[in-house]
Structure 1
Amino acid sequence: MRYNSALVAMAAMLAIASPAAAAAPAASKSIDVAQAKQRLVESFARLAQQTDGTTGVAIQRIGGGDVITLNAGTRFPMASTFKISVAGAIFSLIDSGKLTLDHMITVDPALVVPSDGIADQLPHRGVSLSVHNLLELMLTRSDNTATNVLSETVGGPAAVTAWLRSIGITGMQVDRDTRRIRPDGTPFDLVTSNNSTPEAMLNLLLAIRAGKAVSATSTKALIEIMERCHTGEARLKGLLPPGTMVAHKTGTLRDVANDVGFVTLPDGNQFAIAVFVKGDTKGPQTQERVIAEISRAAYDYFLLLGR
């Protein structure tokens, strides 16, 4: 299956670059683009067959163009990709002057949960970190404790969802932080909590990239942190050319594997991509291969079409 994206790319190249296509009128060229898009959608569906779960995809070139999806409208657990929305809500407070990146926050021991970061490296009471460092830990290492602290800072999951609605994002719901037990002692349903459609996540990414979610300064800071993500090397980045810049956030939860973000093409243009996998029983290697091959197919499509 690893070579499917190369076949899609070759087909797209033949459709776009053949002498007949070059000599054809604009209408025919539009048909060729439509055919390339259809082949890409079919490729997504074939690649998704590697998992016995369900795969959702949404992509669009930054600056406009067609939105291409697989299983649009289907709800997927966001897992840790929801942390992008927490970061957005934090940056909105910074933009409004209610918070600064340098503001120090004391980590409440009640918010500490197992994760790579604060819980592992700073196990003793008396931890205080700046908002900037908490954002770094949350987005680059997916630190759950940092996420809980930042979620509490903005007013909890309901406040995060309210921020999403304020910037026009529907189809995405944040109703819990990373704790598995509610304050009343009842467990969260990890499958239905914090869910999103692929296109809703894409819309959030596009709003961020376009500067419609937070200020230009905050947008730059947020994307730069996402560029330093340490997780998911075998997912969106897995089959892309070495050195390709990917600003992204992963999510993993039992039979769930996600990766969402921005991919930079050789000409400096970018596309936004969200890939969700849920219900898979074949394991992480299969889940990550599906995400990587879908990412490469999208990369080849945008690279060769130039749009």
Structure 2
Amino acid sequence: MTAATSLDAAGERIEGRFREVGVTGHLYAADIDTGREIAVRGDALVVLASVFKVPLLVTLHRLAAAGAFDLAEAVTLPPEGRTSGPTGISAMLDEVRMSLRDLSALMITVSDNAAGDVLYARVGPAAVNAAMDELGLHRTRVVADGRELHDALLRDAGVADFGDLWERLDEPGLLPSLRVLDPERTNRSTPREIARLLASIWRDEAAPADACAQMRRLFGLQVWPHRLSSGFPFDDVRVSGKTGTLPTIRNEVGVVEYPDGGRYAVAVFTRSLGTGAVMPEVDAAIGTTARMAVEALRS
């Protein structure tokens, strides 16, 4: 069996796994050092959800390196007016004072929406998209922060809160009306471009080397073990990543590093047919398909 045939066969197995759990899956994985790759709809436009915080983080570090601001600068976040969310500052009740650098840590490690939106306001979407263009990622576009995504989701659904939203998701015609689920109208990219962005961080190309090292550290500290990491339950394999979640959308992108020096950028984006808030089989499939892709690249 040739190398190309082997990768094709792996792609078919990955597609089969996506079908088994009832999702449309998009995957791209590449050996960071050789460029060998495997893709399943890897160039299709996808909804980023909280994965948009990856290009935001890169832009933050590029601007700081250019002298636009000091990452040690502290900002105060009063309890009033914070972006809602289940983690980090979003879930806190009192005033918080924190550096831009530490806000970026919360944004990546626990996907804190309030922290991310403070950084988004400081950087701005035009700067993020300009940075992506400079890196050759012309299909990666950030057009909204966490608050805007949240508000658009509730407004389009005509509901007051997420409890009402989950109860209505099965109503005919509702899902197509939600802009945040349409990659043409929300934060978007392709699996290939997001994997390329991660690879550029691991190769010290996305920003100065010390900045890339800081970003790698944050991705390595992400707390969620149920998606990408679940496919690599080995003490000597390091998984660094960033999740993204919206109704019917479950994503994770990251880098898998083996003790022999192998490094693989992986991006998995899924859209489920079901509308459940809890879908562990889909979460697990992200890890399973990532492992299948990496094993194919290593074979």
TM normalised by structure 2 equals 0.84
Structure 1: gaps (5+ residues)? 1-14, 16-31
- Once the two structures are aligned, what percentage of the paired residues are identical? 27
- Contact map agreement 1:256 1:280 (CA 8 A) in 2: no
- Provide the residue aligned with 1:127 in structure 2: 96
Instruction: Quote the Cα distance in structure 1 between the aligned partners of 2:194 and 2:273.
Output: 20
Instruction: Quote the Cα distance in structure 2 between the aligned partners of 1:114 and 1:288.
Output: 20
Q: 1:241 aligns with which of 222, 230, 233?
A: 233
Instruction: Quote the Cα distance in structure 2 between the aligned partners of 1:114 and 1:35.
Output: 45
How many residues are matched?
A: 268
Secondary structure class of the residue paired with 2:255: strand
Q: Give the Å deviation of 1:178.
A: 0.2
Alpha-carbon RMSD: 2.0
Q: Give the Å deviation of 1:302.
A: 3.3
Q: Which residue type is aligned with residue 267 of structure 2?
A: A
Deviations 1:79-134 (A, max 9, x none): 1111111111110111112222311122264343233011223x23x422111210
Instruction: Quote the Cα distance in structure 2 between the aligned partners of 1:151 and 1:198.
Output: 22
Secondary structure class of the residue paired with 2:26: strand
Q: Give the Å deviation of 1:166.
A: 1.9
1:113 and 2:84 correspond: yes
Q: Give the Å deviation of 1:195.
A: 1.5
Q: Give the Å deviation of 1:282.
A: 6.7
Q: Which residue type is aligned with residue 175 of structure 1?
A: V
**How is 1:96-175 mapped onto 2 (pairs within 5 angstroms)?**
96-107=66-77, 109-121=80-92, 123-124=93-94, 126-154=95-123, 156-175=124-143
- Provide the residue aligned with 2:19 in structure 1: 49
Instruction: Quote the Cα distance in structure 2 between the aligned partners of 1:72 and 1:246.
Output: 21
TM normalised by structure 1 equals 0.82
Secondary structure class of the residue paired with 2:120: helix
Deviations 1:198-245 (A, max 9, x none): 1121121122222221110000000011000002x1211113132221
Q: Which residue type is aligned with residue 66 of structure 1?
A: R
- Contact map agreement 1:51 1:280 (CA 8 A) in 2: no
Q: Give the Å deviation of 1:281.
A: 0.8
- Provide the residue aligned with 1:294 in structure 2: 289
Deviations 1:43-97 (A, max 9, x none): 1111111233310000100112322111133221111111111111110111112
